[in-house]
Structure formats: C-alpha cells, structure tokens
Amino acid sequence: MEQIISIDESPLGISNETAYRSIESALTPYAGKIRRALVLPPDATRAFSGIGRIVARVIETLSEFCDVDVMPTLGTHAAMTADEVRAMFGGAVDPGQLIYHNWREDTAKLGEIPGAVVNEATEGLFSDPIDVEINRRLLNPAYGLIVSPGQVVPHEVAGMANYSKNIFVGCGGPRMIQRTHLISAAAGLRRVLGKADTPVRRLFHYAQERFLSDMPLLYMLTVNTEHEGSPRLNGLYIGTGRGLFEQAAEQSARLNIHHLPKAYNHVVAFMEPDSYKTTWVGNKAIYRTCMMIAPGGELTVLAPGICGFGESEPVDKLIRKYGYRGTRETLEAMRTSADLADDEGAAAHMMNGSTDGLFTVTYAVERISREDIESVGFKSSSYTDACACLGIDPRSKPLEDGEYTDSEGNLFYYIGHPGAGLWMAD
C-alpha cells in the first residue's frame, strides 16, 4: 500500500481526528477483501506511549468488516492483567479474548541468519548463526492482514524501538530474543541507544527482508513527546518498508533525545507504578539516563510499583542469584555457570542494569524489601523516605522534567517518564 505519513510538531500535535482519519484510510481498502485480521499492540509497559487509543481505533475500524484477534507483543514480559487491558485499550479489547504470546513455546522457525551475516552486522563480536523464530500464529493464512502498531523511541537493545523488533522480539522466540539482547549488551549501551543503525537492527532488517516479505504486515509507527504529563502524538507513519521506520527514527531522535549542557551528580527518575513492576522494565531508568550522570554520581529511582526483578519466575531467580554486579562479573558467571549461560537475555539485562562503578543506583520502593533490593547490588530506600528527602512526591503531584533542589538545598535533575526518551550530557 501507499505510505500514509502525518507529522505535526506544533504544541498541539496530531489531533485524534487526523490520526483516526489516517488509520481509516489505511484500513478501509481491505474491506471485502479479508475475513480475519491480527493486531499486535505493545503491552502495558508501553502504556504511556498513548498507543492504546491508536490500537482501539484500529480494532474498531477492522471490526466493521472482518473478525479481529489481538495479541500483545509481550516478548519476555508478563501477561497483561484485565485491569491493564481495560486501562490501555478501553472497551475495544475484551481481556478474556486476548491472545498471549509465550516466547518459549509458541514459536515456529522460519530459517536462520547465517554466521557470516551475524559477524558482519556485529562487527566481529559474534559469528554463530541465529534462528529466526516468530509466533506461529503470524503464519496462519487465515489472516489477510497483520497490523503492528507501536512507538519509535530510543531503546537499549534495538537502538530505536519498534518496526520489525515488534515481530522478532515482541513475537519472537528464545534464540532471537536472547542472542540479540546479548549482542546489544556486548556492543555497549552508549553505542546503541538512540541510533537507527545498530548491530541488532541490521539483523532485524536482514530477517525482515528474507522471511517477512510475503507476510500481509502493516506497520503503524508513532513518534510522541510529553506535554503536561500526557503523550502528544507528533508523527504517525503507516505502511511497510525500511524507509518508513528510518523516517520515524529520525524524527524520534530529534524529539526524544534530550541534549543537556552538563552532566548531573544526582538524577531522579519516577517509574509509574502501574507500568513498572519489576526491575526488568524499571531499569529503563538506568538505561535512558546513564549518559547524563556524572562519574561518581547517583541515580535515585522512585519506583513504588516494583515488587520483583524478572518478568518470569526463572529469570527472577537468576537475577536474585547473580544480581547487577557489572559486565565483567556477569561474563565470568556465564563462563562458569550453566544456568546463566543458557539465558543470554537475562545475562544481557544484568550487564545493562549494572553501572560498572560509574555511578550508584538507589531504588526507592514500597512493595519489595530493602534486603531484596540490596541483595542484587542496588542501594535501597523507602519511597516515602526518598520523597521526603527530595521534597517531592510525583505520584501525588506530577512535576515537569528539570532541575530541583532537595530538602538540604542540593541540586538534582528530575525525569518523570524515563521510558519516553533518552537524556545525555553534551
């Protein structure tokens, strides 16, 4: 289909009316041509992106002329609760009808990325072939259309989130998910974050061109900024093809990467409790701020929703066992411990969540003990105590991002939605 692109970087952004008209223009040509469609929305950890209303309109439009199945692109994340489904998608999605992707069991192998391609894409870091696995439901010929909506935003594995990552990770299998996470961690966050051309993205491009070219796949990519505590839609890209993603990534780099004139000794990040319940996703506070924190500085993560570490019991156990101890120690543990060597994704997460001594991380929590937090290598505080020292409580009174002073007059920089961007000192 012809690409549909809407861009409005004014203070108002793209109106609902304009966005919905673009969605309907893209979907109504399928009326009378397909009987069934599959929609692949992000999960609750991406709720702040505002993609829920886009997904709702997609489902409502498709439902006028075909049956619609909905399967969130969970990747390794926990399944959404009924309350999360209703909060994110409103009445457009029946929680009881949602299909859940099991990344360990529900996939089929399409082929593999040859070792020579992996070696070239990773600049010599890895050379083993990688199995390309996706949820077998995507291969069902009954689906005349598969719609993949999602936000393009700086990301710690792919460089920029979404597009084919939504398929190969969000609906992917163990080998692709774990190896690409390890590749990115080995390359280093600073070489990956906020970039459209990364080792992992090169692999996704290869797999998309070789294995998805005949799939009836339609991407709906959004670029958002924050306005008065809510997401504002500034770009909507509908269609297929690598060029569509690259245009969205360019806009996201301009709008979502925040360049600061200096590094800060103390950064405070608030993780909204309904979206961030484990350090597996809560560590976005670390990834997205690591390039704005001065050496020897501190990151305070206000995370009242955190109640565990991994999004599944096996990964939770691994994090509790090995913790966030640094890249070198994690690599050594992989060499000597079979359980960690068998879960490259968990090992990569531990490397990315470790600061390697560059700064300290304090998790301010309510639903998990100080002992548990400190056992994995972080410092710990109660959420109430941390807010009292800082003189803020973003859960009851939202703040604008920027500089503040704590109760003792010390400067800190506050970020209310770390998952929505990337901050770096120039």
Q: Band the pLDDT of 48: cuts 50, 70, 90.
A: confident
Instruction: Let me know whether 200 and 88 are in one domain.
Output: yes
Q: What are the strands, taking DSSP E only, across 240-372?
A: 257-260, 264-270, 293-302, 359-365
Distance in angstroms (rounded) separating the CA atoms of residues 62 and 69: 10
Q: pLDDT (tens digit, 9 = 90+) per residue, 50-94?
A: 889 999 999 999 999 999 999 999 988 888 899 999 988 888 888
Q: Are residues 243 and 278 in the same domain?
A: no
Does 1 have pLDDT greater than 70? Answer: no
Domain of 52? 4-256
pLDDT, one tens digit per residue, over 335-356 is 999 999 999 999 999 999 999 9
d(CA 46, CA 206): 26
Q: Is 264 exposed, middle or buried (0-12, 13-18, 19+ CB in 10 A)?
A: buried
Inter-CA distances, 235 with 21, 83, 223, 322, Å: 14, 28, 5, 41
Q: How many domains does the chain have?
A: 2
> Which of the two residues, 126 and 78, has the higher pLDDT score?
126
Predicted local distance difference test score (pLDDT) of residue 285: 98
- Assign residue 308 the CATH number of its domain: 3.90.226.30
Same domain, 297 and 241: no
Q: Are residues 213 and 291 in the same domain?
A: no
120 and 268 share one domain: no
Structure tokens at 255: 């709008």
Residue 239: give its domain's CATH number: 3.40.50.11440
Q: Looking at the structure, do residues 58 and 100 belong to the same domain, yes or no? A: yes
Token couple for 258: 């925040």
Q: pTM for the full model?
A: 0.93
Residue 45 has a pLDDT of 79
Looking at the fold, whether 230 and 251 belong to one and the same domain comes out as yes
Same domain (yes/no): 152, 67 = yes
Q: Are residues 283 and 391 in the same domain?
A: yes
User: Residue 107 pairs with which residues in a beta bridge?
Assistant: 135
Domain termination residue (choose one: 256, 282, 315): 256
Shared domain for 23 and 171, answered yes or no, is yes
Give me the pLDDT at residue 47, please: 74
Residue 91 buriedness (CB in 10 A; 0-12 / 13-18 / 19+)? exposed
Q: Which of 228, 256, 284 delimits the end of a domain? A: 256
Domain boundary among 256, 282, 300: 256
pLDDT band at 226; cut points 50, 70, 90: confident
Residues 137 and 13 in one domain: yes
pLDDT tens for residues 256-276? 999 999 999 999 999 999 989
| Pair (161, 130) in one structural domain | yes
